[in-house]
Amino acid sequence: MAYQPDRSQYPQRRVDGRLDIDLASGKYLKLWHGPQHPGITGNMSVELTLCGDEIVDAKTHVGYLHRGFEKLMERRTFIQCFPIVCRVCVPEPDFNEYCYAAAVEELAGIECPERARWIRTLILEMGRINSYLMYLGGQSGAFGMGVIGQWTTYIRDLMLDRFEELTGARIYHMFILPGGVRDGLPEGFEQRMEETLRELESTMKDVRDVLFHNAVFKKRSVGVGVIDPAWLEPYGVTGPNARAAGVAKDVRIDQPYLVYPELSYEAIVGKDSDIYTRADVRYRDLLQSVDLIRQILARMPHEGPVMAKLPNVLHWKIPQGETYIRGECSRGEYGYYVVTDGSGYPRRINVRGPSYTHAVALLEHMIINQNISDVAGLMVSLHTYPPEVER
């Protein structure tokens, strides 16, 4: 039986959306969960209304991190936007670069060379691994298991070494540009990548033993924070959160892009849709990305151009139009809606981050009736990321 929040025992909402409660009665308590809390994602905070230790109401406050990115981009030329787009999402910045570059390519009529498409796919999968590693550390940290965060940070550091080798930067790479990528793979990259992947797989076995077979983690995550499959469409739930509810939503398969149609894999789904299942789906997703990287490295072409011929980007004007480019990032559907007006500057860029729906509407809905002690684990299990909300 799927979990359904029951508001019947609680006070009703007033017309303005606020709860009709009297805090002075002593029956209810307002409590701010975050922003300085180890179990919160980024700088968000949740304003909780409690009755005993049970949550009656919650409001997400997204915080004060990066503001006005979309507006800033309207004041920059298309190529100058790259240092901004990659900063929308720290764990996998390349995803923003790909979506934005692909949108610009489509509007400007630029064809990306085949070799660059393989390299882009490789980078996106490496970014997904990085993001999942951060998630696994955070999820276990929310339940007090700090050691797993140390292991995953070590592996992420090795992945960042590969990124540095490939792009020259560790976090913000700006490697994917309209027309292709900046360069091909360095010599010996495949071998060093394979060594890193082996190290990752070995550590993941430890993570499986220590986290997923852990009695404390199981007791605190199984059956907690269930997302009903019926909520997926109304609340715009995508990615691993939807797949853990048994719905095989994966943009890479539903609307394939880059070279994903040429790779062999299947959407990973779970059944129980609780915190444990979401962690398990992400764990399996991570190992699937390892497999995809191996497939890409084995089959990618090593000859040919990596960048199409572009007009002078300093005087670049893109014809009027609008488009939306989406892709599957580690948290779900990510997309860029780009509108151009024929000038050298974008008219409007809107970033559709999966956290936007997961961290606000969905969290506020699913947190009702939960216990205060489960909030941290529950919030991390949605794998939200504040800069996607307050771009």
Partner 1 sequence: MRDIYERLLKTFSLGELIEQRPDLAFITVPQAQLQDVLIRLRDREGFTHLVLLTAVDWIEDNQFQLTYLLSNREAAVDLGLRVMIPRDEPVMSSIHIIWPTAATYQRELKEMFGIDFLDSPGIDEPFILEGWSDIPPYRRDFDTKKYAEETYSNRPWRETLDPQEHMKKQLYPDGT
Is residue 324 within 8 A of residue 335, CB to CB? The reply is yes
CB 300, min distance to partner 1, A:
26
Residue numbers 353-372 binding partner 1 by CB under 8 A = 356-357, 360-362, 365
Q: Which of 249, 278, 282, 331 forms a contact with partner 1 (CB under 8 A)?
A: 249
**Of 288, 323, 369, 371, the one binding partner 1 by CB under 8 A:** 323
390 binds partner 1 (CB under 8 A): yes
Among 8, 17, 25, 36, binds partner 1 (CB under 8 A): 17
Q: Is 70 in the site for partner 1 (CB under 8 A)?
A: yes
Nearer to partner 1, 101 or 293 (CB): 101
Range in contact with partner 1 (rule: CB under 8 A) among 122-130, 151-159, 263-271, 319-327 = 319-327
Among the listed ranges 220-228, 263-271, 279-287, 331-339, the one in contact with partner 1 (CB under 8 A) is: 331-339
- Using CB under 8 A, count the residues that bind partner 1: 39
The only residue of 229, 236, 246, 344 in contact with partner 1, by rule CB under 8 A? 236
49-68 binders of partner 1 (CB under 8 A): 62, 67-68
Q: Which of 4, 150, 191, 350 binds partner 1 (CB under 8 A)?
A: 350
Told to check if 324 binds partner 1 by CB under 8 A, we report yes
**Residue 14 in contact with partner 1, rule: CB under 8 A:** no
Q: How far is the CB of 234 from partner 1 (least distance, A)?
A: 5
Closest distance between partner 1 and the C-beta of residue 132, in Å? Answer: 23
Q: Which is nearer to partner 1, 115 or 352 (CB)?
A: 352
**Which residues here bind partner 1, judged by CB under 8 A?**
16-17, 62, 67-68, 70-72, 74-75, 106, 233-236, 238, 249, 254-255, 321-324, 326, 333, 335, 337, 339, 347-348, 350, 352, 356-357, 360-362, 365, 390
